[in-house]
Structure 1
Amino acid sequence: MKTLLPTSTAGSLPKPSWLAQPETLWSPWALEGEALVEGKHDALRLSLQEQQKVGIDIVSDGEQTRQHFVTTFIEHLTGVDFENRRTVKIRDRYDAKVPTVVGKVSRPKSVFVEDAKFLRQQTDKPIKWALPGPMTMIDTLYDAHYQSRKKLAWEFAKILNQEAKDLEAVGVDIIQFDEPAFNVFFDDVNEWGIACLERAVEGLKCETAVHICYGYGIKANTDWKKSLGTEWRQYEEIFPKLKESSIDIISLECHNSRVPIELLALIRGKKVMVGAIDVATDTIESAEDVANTLREALKYVDADKLYPCTNCGMAPLSRDVARGKLSALHAGAEIVRREIS
């Protein structure tokens, strides 16, 4: 029987301190060689166990085997020089030293398939795997070769499609593309960003999701959010086109954000991963906090299409806080399940 309101996480979960420095993005690995390979798999098992223990229904790898949700994928491609770094403004908000595209980009072999296969062997639950979206990939690089955001995004879309097909083949149930850039470059999103996403999912039989949030709880993001005023209506710019797209699930931020919940009406009919956990604070939500967010969302999303989720990844949080938040997510979903069934 299909679970009503199946819970899930947006992506990353904290790494154990023996694998990488905790509560840090881009944290360097504490192990190397064979010990690192084994350590990543141990961390993946641990992350899975914690998700299952608190009752998460759609589980993931918690991104334990990657340093960063975008660059770890790019590291495995040809045409990108990681030694030759240039400073760019990421998401129009903060400067970062990023790798340079120096030639044609391609994927010599699959990037995450072995890890996904390992996760599939550990659990019978539905599994979700996150990949960076084409627009967010180009926003995390300096392009000295194509010199066209659209051209480079299109090349990445083709590469992501190859990877997604390989992930589907080893039993991944939902493939999610992370596109925080969709909340910033609205004209590009509508002109070619959604078309690139469609290219990335072409031919897939498994479910597909796009995750569009206001970012991790890091200072650059929280400062930016303070500048957005009392209502965050960014989703309004892109929802109409996303509703028409072939993407199955739209994942977005709701709890503690200033997103007017009625914007969900613009994607009525789509499945929606509703962010009911704030990742920008250490305060652990109560089950009732979560339930309230879900009740509000249910005014605009049919119950069989609502997936309670976190706002974004939780890599920068402590493991205790993340565990508490996931428990609250499960408990809040349980309350609402009982109310509507």
Structure 2
Amino acid sequence: MPPTLPPLPTTVVGSLPQPDWLIDRDRLGHQFPPRVRAAELWRIPADHLLEAQDDATLVTIRAQEAAGLDVIGDGEIRRESYSNHFATALAGLDLDHPGTVRNRSGLDVHVPRVTGELRRPSPVQVEDVRFLREHTDRAVKITVPGPFTMAQQAQDDFYGDDRLLALAYADVVREEIADLFAAGADIVQLDEPWLQARPEVAKRYGVEVLDRALAGAAGTTHVHLCFGYAAMVAERPEGYSFLPELADVPADAISLETAQSHLDPATLAPLRGKGIALGVLDLSTPEVETPEVIADRVRRALDHVDVDKLLLSSDCGLKYLPRAAAAGKMRALAQAAAVLRTEL
């Protein structure tokens, strides 16, 4: 049985700061997140890297527990970016001769080049879930790059149709979700920032792709949308360009950014009846908000969401923050939730 969660359970979106002894954080912070492999970023030799990543993940688990979070993730410590770890583990790709796409900042970046039928030779993140499950007694969440986003971050030299490419990614993601729940995940989250970045494409088949990926999921699922890492994308629009469309997607909760973007909480009204993971940590600054500031961000939204289905989270991943700042923000989030629970 999954652990019983309190009202307003707390979590973070996914990534947390990786130790500088593990990965070159300076280089990581001065380039856009890699879409192909970037082994040169790791400071540990390949034959010791897995052990080092396990050690760093354990530190990250303990940091979340110490902060008081209710749902624990692996911090994506083993990944160079949120998407490339999974996306480059598939068959049907030529990674030695990558393609290019224009990213959401308008720059051409190297991406996986699809040259054959996409397949998943073996589960990608099952061992990550097992490690989490072994080292915490709290609810555990694992994140997977969403199929729409992976399709937008690939060069298609095989399918000849962007919708068919996205549906192929949905099939491998659906298989992975099944294995992750079987391994002990309480929540599986699909990260889909490109639904916001490419709304004109998303409105053609984004819901269809998510429906296919989430079909038959055996546990709680979330879909995360954001406006990009604060360290990489400073400008925030006033609202989401693809949001009401998610009302009928078979995910239990939609994870959204509201702190840095100052999102009007009335925007959430079309998602009534669905869970919301409310992003209330501003990641554009290392300054740690007070619990009262965070609580006020939550209070603004309470009239527009189903409170019994509300989770409290970060806007996006905390990967690019200093470790002390990330720890402080997580602690303040847990303290804000404690205050708010007395008001329910």
Q: Which residue of 2 is the match for residue 245 of structure 1?
A: 249
The correspondence of residues 280-291 of structure 1 with structure 2, limited to 5 A, is 280-291=284-295
Q: CA offsets per residue over residues 173-202 of structure 1, 9 Å max, x none?
A: 111000001112223323211111111111
Cα separation, 1, equivalents of 2:93 and 2:171? 16
Gaps of 5+ in 2: none
Q: CA offsets per residue over residues 79-107 of structure 1, 9 Å max, x none?
A: 11122123321236332122211111111
Whether the aligned pair in 1 keeps the contact of 2:91 and 2:118 (CA below 8 Å) is: yes
Cα separation, 1, equivalents of 2:107 and 2:340? 39
Q: Which residue of 2 is the match for residue 111 of structure 1?
A: 124
Q: TM-score under structure 1 normalisation?
A: 0.93
Q: CA offsets per residue over residues 183-229 of structure 1, 9 Å max, x none?
A: 1222332321111111111111200100000111233x11x43xx4x
The correspondence of residues 1-20 of structure 1 with structure 2, limited to 5 A, is 2-20=5-23
Cα separation, 1, equivalents of 2:129 and 2:244? 33
**Structure 2 counterpart of 1:155, from 165, 168, 189:** 168
Q: Which residue of 2 is the match for residue 276 of structure 1?
A: 280
Q: Which amino acid aligns with 2:173?
A: L
Q: Which residue of 1 is the match for residue 231 of structure 2?
A: 218
Cα separation, 1, equivalents of 2:52 and 2:276? 34
Cα separation, 1, equivalents of 2:253 and 2:269? 14
1:317 shift after superposition: 1.1
SS for the counterpart of 1:99 is strand
Cα separation, 1, equivalents of 2:128 and 2:139? 15
Deviates more, 1:266-275 or 1:92-101: 92-101
Cα separation, 1, equivalents of 2:124 and 2:131? 13
Whether the aligned pair in 2 keeps the contact of 1:92 and 1:184 (CA below 8 Å) is: no
The correspondence of residues 225-236 of structure 1 with structure 2, limited to 5 A, is 225=236, 228=237, 232-234=238-240
**Structure 2 counterpart of 1:202, from 215, 226, 236:** 215
Q: CA offsets per residue over residues 134-178 of structure 1, 9 Å max, x none?
A: 111012121121122111110010000111100000110111000
1:35 shift after superposition: 1.1
Q: Please, what is the CA RMSD of the aligned residues?
A: 1.5
Runs of 4+ in 1 over 4 A off after TM superposition: none
Q: Which residue of 1 is the match for residue 184 of structure 2?
A: 171
Q: Which amino acid aligns with 2:199?
A: F
Q: CA offsets per residue over residues 7-47 of structure 1, 9 Å max, x none?
A: 01001000111211226245711113341110111111110
Q: CA offsets per residue over residues 283-311 of structure 1, 9 Å max, x none?
A: 21111111001111111112211100000
SS for the counterpart of 1:258 is coil
Whether the aligned pair in 1 keeps the contact of 2:260 and 2:283 (CA below 8 Å) is: no
Deviates more, 1:311-320 or 1:142-151: 142-151
Q: Which residue of 2 is the match for residue 133 of structure 1?
A: 146
Gaps of 5+ in 1: none
Cα separation, 2, equivalents of 1:179 and 1:110? 20
Q: TM-score under structure 2 normalisation?
A: 0.92
Whether the aligned pair in 2 keeps the contact of 1:261 and 1:297 (CA below 8 Å) is: yes
Cα separation, 1, equivalents of 2:47 and 2:71? 29
Q: Which amino acid aligns with 1:256?
A: Q
Q: Which residue of 2 is the match for residue 81 of structure 1?
A: 94
Whether the aligned pair in 2 keeps the contact of 1:127 and 1:173 (CA below 8 Å) is: yes
Whether the aligned pair in 1 keeps the contact of 2:151 and 2:162 (CA below 8 Å) is: yes
Q: Which residue of 2 is the match for residue 326 of structure 1?
A: 330
**Alpha-carbon distance change, 20 to 49 in structure 1, aligned in 2, over 3 angstroms:** same
Whether the aligned pair in 2 keeps the contact of 1:210 and 1:251 (CA below 8 Å) is: yes
Q: Which residue of 1 is the match for residue 312 of structure 2?
A: 308
Q: Which amino acid aligns with 2:11?
A: S
The answer to whether 1:37 aligns with 2:50 is yes
Cα separation, 1, equivalents of 2:25 and 2:103? 23
Cα separation, 2, equivalents of 1:95 and 1:286? 39
**Alpha-carbon distance change, 105 to 192 in structure 1, aligned in 2, over 3 angstroms:** same
Q: Which residue of 1 is the match for residue 201 of structure 2?
A: 188
Cα separation, 1, equivalents of 2:175 and 2:99? 28
